[in-house]
Amino acid sequence: MLLLARNLFLASLILFYKSEKNNLTFTVHHTCSIEGGKELVLKNAPFLSEYRPLEDKKPFLGEGYYFWEYNLDYAKVWGRYHYSNKYFIVESNVYIDHERENYYLDLVGNRKHLVFFVRLLTKFNLLNKIGTKGIDLCFIIDYLRKTIPEAFPFKVIRAVDYKNKDREGIKIQFNDKGNSFTILNPRFIFSFKNKEDIVYLEKPFITFTS
């Protein structure tokens, strides 16, 4: 009886999350090592990307649980290079409560969030002109989280991973006037600070084995 009530509650929760008003849901992919086997991976994924600069472990957005947003192909590329081609890709649908206070910073598709983050960085120019010049983003995020958590309370960050190579990316011009174009295959990253911050709409499953 209790189990039935719980399942009904979860089902209604999912329906609520999926309703039009709250439809910030994403299909995400997480690449991990094949070590330990499927059961261990299904039980424990996603795995923490640790922040240990001295060991050259510097995740892009600081320590956290990382996913590619709907990007099975790039998750495979990641597995090829980071797990010596021995990897699983775990897929799931997650829900982002964008209205929850201190929760979500979208550096991909929300100009208000981007403007905020730029303002945050330029606050360091109160000290001197140089401010955060020359400092990598992973250091800044880690510093803010550890030293001034009130200034960076966000549990989930979404960002674009651009590569410094011109030929990568499907660029398409809008029209023949000027140089405006858009990129049709950007790579979006999700970084969750804590595992408990991830709200799954379905149980993660292994979608690819190398």
Partner 1 sequence: MDTFEKALLALENYILGNKERVASDLEEMRKKSEGNDIFNYVESLSYSLSYENVSTNKEVTYNFDFLEVDTYSFINDSENSHLYAPPCIKNNETIKKSSEILSELFF
User: What are the residues binding partner 1 (CB under 8 A)?
Assistant: 53, 71-74, 76-77, 101-102, 112, 114-116, 118-124, 126-128, 130-137, 139-140, 143-144, 147-148, 150-153, 164, 167-173, 175-177, 185, 187
Q: How far apart are CA 36 and CA 34, in angstroms?
A: 6
For residue 30, the minimal CB distance to partner 1 (Å) is 15
d(CA 207, CA 88): 8
Nearer to partner 1, 22 or 110 (CB): 110
Alpha-carbon dihedral angle through residues 83, 87, 93, 94, given to the nearest 10 degrees: -30
Closest to partner 1 by CB, 20 vs 101, is: 101
Distance CA 81, CA 9 (A): 42
Checking DSSP bridges between strand 104-106 and strand 156-161, what pairing results, if any?
Answer: parallel
The nearer residue to partner 1, 12 or 85, going by C-beta atoms, is 85
**Which tokens is 3 given?**
């189990």
CB of 196 to partner 1, least distance (A): 20
Smallest gap from Cβ 190 to partner 1, in A, equals 16
